[in-house]
Amino acid sequence: MKITIGKNNTVSGKGKQNFSEGDQIGRDQVGRDRIGRDQINVGAMPAEVERSLRLLLEEARRLLPAGRVESVAAEVDGIQRDMSAAEPDRKTAASRLGSAVEMLKQGGAVLEAGSSLGQSIVKIAQWIGPIAGAILAGVGLVL
């Protein structure tokens, strides 16, 4: 991505963006690319979200029978696909996260706010966005 600071800045190859006071270029708290005040590029998955998704799968492998692990892996793959689309499907990604979390709960996973699994789920939900907050509330975690 090419960004040049000045009037009528080029953002990616085609668009023009006027930057004014309060606009941001860089990364936000969750590691997403920010271009302007309200535009977020979610195509690139932050490294901490990748680690969180891997931890979710590791817990599934530890706790669940093979068939259920495949189901959790399918949900994780779906989350990545939904969120890397040109127009991220946050609702579906949040639903997939809820399904994966529910399977882990049924397998006996401890979902506490301070646990590494709990923190990982929160990071994934933050990346998906506010719509995932209801999923977290359902398992006792806070976004």
Q: What pLDDT, on the 0 to 100 scale, is given for residue 141?
A: 73
What tokens does 97 get?
């996260």
Query: CA 39, CA 33: separation in Å to the nearest integer?
Result: 9
Query: CA 56, CA 60: separation in Å to the nearest integer?
Result: 6
pTM of the predicted protein model: 0.67
pLDDT tens for the chain, 143 residues long, are 444 444 444 444 444 444 444 444 444 454 444 445 444 444 567 889 999 999 999 999 998 999 899 999 999 999 999 998 888 999 999 999 999 999 998 888 877 767 888 889 999 999 999 989 887 787 777 65
Mention every residue, 6+ apart, whose C-beta is less than 8 A from residue 76: 53, 56, 57, 96, 100
